[in-house]
């Protein structure tokens, strides 16, 4: 049996795939540990999971504050802030904890999230094989390729941090999507394994008895957008007020129509089989979880990788894209009625679902990781 160490940032969407793949490795008898922010990891991993700290509560709070500042930015300021104020400083901050975890746990393989740059840096210094957990597929197609000066600037930052571009392993990149969504040509090291959904832990309570018998729609803008979503959520509430659907909206309490169930958090994965469509900001996890259940989407991307993910959904024919900053209630209503009433959207989502099933999920990811150990 082998030892696998997952290195993750304090971001739920980046931890979730590793929880699934790690759970599969544990089920096969391997030893598995995670290194990151214990407070973020604890609700997402099994009770007996081995966790090493690389981020304390003070740093995690500082990261959350920075993310809130980042949400207020526009244009190239978003990219500049993301790299200079978030990703590179996070990499530096995590290095001591990741190095301690490598010494204590002695892994055979380091599995590093693409935004946990300390993982490949420490693994390289220790002479350990490392692979990438690509929690979003957007960077694989390099969205900065049309802006060569910005792309070169990012690569210079990475060179200063690690002596080179360490975002993706040349040994194995686990991508939690499929070629049905991500167009392009990739090397043999890129493994499209589909969403990793098994072995996941969801500790959020849900009032299942309040679900009604009609069509149901989930509205979620993820865990990072907070106040940035207020205008859009209010437009959604107006759009669905007299529709014959039940809406489960993930948001803080506010006045809402009787057909809206408003909750601060939901067990999203458990809820998916009970839904007919999803309205989202285009977060990679939410989109792929929805498509894994054959659900069509209304996608209103805000920033980061979300426009790329939204474009993937539209190209697959599995949803409608809205302009987040300008979408009005009438736009939301029209888009939602389209994905609910026009069968081609659900049919396209079903094709993506079938591609995900064929990709293999956590089982395929664990197979590939075992091959890394075997050499």
DSSP characters over 260-304: EEEES---HHHHGGG-SEEEES--HHHHHHHHHTT--EEE---ST
Mean pLDDT by 10 residues, the chain (375 residues): 97 95 98 97 95 95 82 80 91 97 98 97 97 90 77 92 94 95 91 97 95 96 67 95 96 93 96 98 95 98 89 97 95 98 98 97 98 92
Residues 154 and 166 sit within 8 Å (Cβ to Cβ): no
In the chain, where are the structural domains located? 3-194+360-374, 208-357
pLDDT at site 79: 85
pLDDT at site 228: 59
pLDDT at site 224: 53
**DSSP-derived 3-state class of residue 229:** helix
The Cα–Cα gap between 248 and 358 comes to 30
Structure tokens at 177: 């999507």
**What would the CATH number be for the domain defined by 3-194+360-374?**
3.40.50.2000
- Core vs surface per residue 259-289: b (16+ CB within 10 A) or e: bbbbbeebebbebbeebbbbbbbbbbbbbbb
CATH topology match: 3-194+360-374 vs 208-357: yes
Task: Name the CATH superfamily housing domain 208-357.
Answer: Glycogen Phosphorylase B; (3.40.50.2000)
> Residue 146's Cα: distance from chain center in Å?
24
pLDDT at site 184: 86
Phi-psi region of 215 (alpha: psi -120 to 50; beta: other; left: phi over 0): beta
Q: Any idea which residue has 């993937």 for tokens?
A: 312
Residues 347 and 106 sit within 8 Å (Cβ to Cβ): no
Give the ranges where the chain is alpha helix by DSSP (H): 12-27, 38-41, 57-71, 76-81, 88-105, 118-126, 148-162, 230-240, 268-271, 284-292, 306-316, 329-341, 343-359, 361-374
């Amino acid at each position: 049996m082998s030892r696998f160490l997952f290195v993750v940032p304090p971001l739920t969407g980046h931890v979730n795939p590793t929880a699934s793949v790690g759970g599969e490795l544990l089920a096969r008898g391997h030893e598995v540990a995670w290194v990151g922010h214990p407070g973020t990891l604890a609700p997402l991993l099994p009770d007996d999971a081995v966790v090493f700290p690389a981020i304390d509560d003070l740093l995690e709070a500082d990261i959350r504050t920075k993310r809130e500042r980042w949400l207020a930015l526009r244009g190239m300021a978003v990219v500049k802030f993301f790299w200079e104020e978030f990703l590179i400083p996070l990499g530096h901050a995590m290095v001591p904890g990741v190095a301690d975890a490598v010494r204590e746990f002695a892994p055979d393989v380091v599995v590093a999230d693409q935004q946990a740059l300390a993982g490949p840096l420490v693994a390289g210094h220790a002479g350990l094989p490392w692979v990438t957990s690509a929690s979003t597929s957007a960077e694989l197609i390099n969205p900065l390729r049309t802006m060569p000066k910005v792309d070169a600037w990012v690569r210079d930052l990475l060179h200063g941090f690690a002596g080179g571009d360490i975002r993706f392993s040349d040994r194995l990149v686990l991508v939690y999507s499929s070629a049905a969504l991500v167009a392009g040509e990739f090397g043999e090291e890129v493994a499209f394994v589909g969403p990793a959904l098994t072995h996941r832990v969801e500790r959020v309570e849900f009032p299942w008895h309040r679900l009604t018998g009609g069509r149901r729609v989930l509205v979620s803008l993820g865990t990072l957008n907070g106040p940035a979503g207020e205008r859009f959520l209010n437009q959604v509430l107006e759009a669905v007020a007299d529709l014959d659907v039940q809406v489960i909206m993930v948001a803080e309490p506010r006045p809402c129509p009787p057909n809206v169930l408003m909750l601060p958090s939901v067990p999203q994965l458990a809820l998916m089989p009970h839904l007919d469509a999803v309205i989202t900001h285009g977060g990679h996890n939410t989109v792929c979880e929805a498509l894994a259940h054959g659900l069509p989407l209304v996608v209103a991307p805000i920033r980061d990788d979300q426009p790329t993910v939204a474009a993937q959904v539209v190209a697959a024919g599995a949803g409608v894209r809205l302009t987040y900053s300008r979408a009005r209630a009438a736009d939301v209503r029209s888009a939602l009625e389209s994905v609910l009433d026009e069968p081609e959207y659900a049919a396209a989502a079903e094709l993506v679902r079938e591609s995900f099933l064929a990709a293999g999920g956590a089982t395929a990811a664990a197979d590939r990781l075992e091959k890394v150990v075997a050499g």
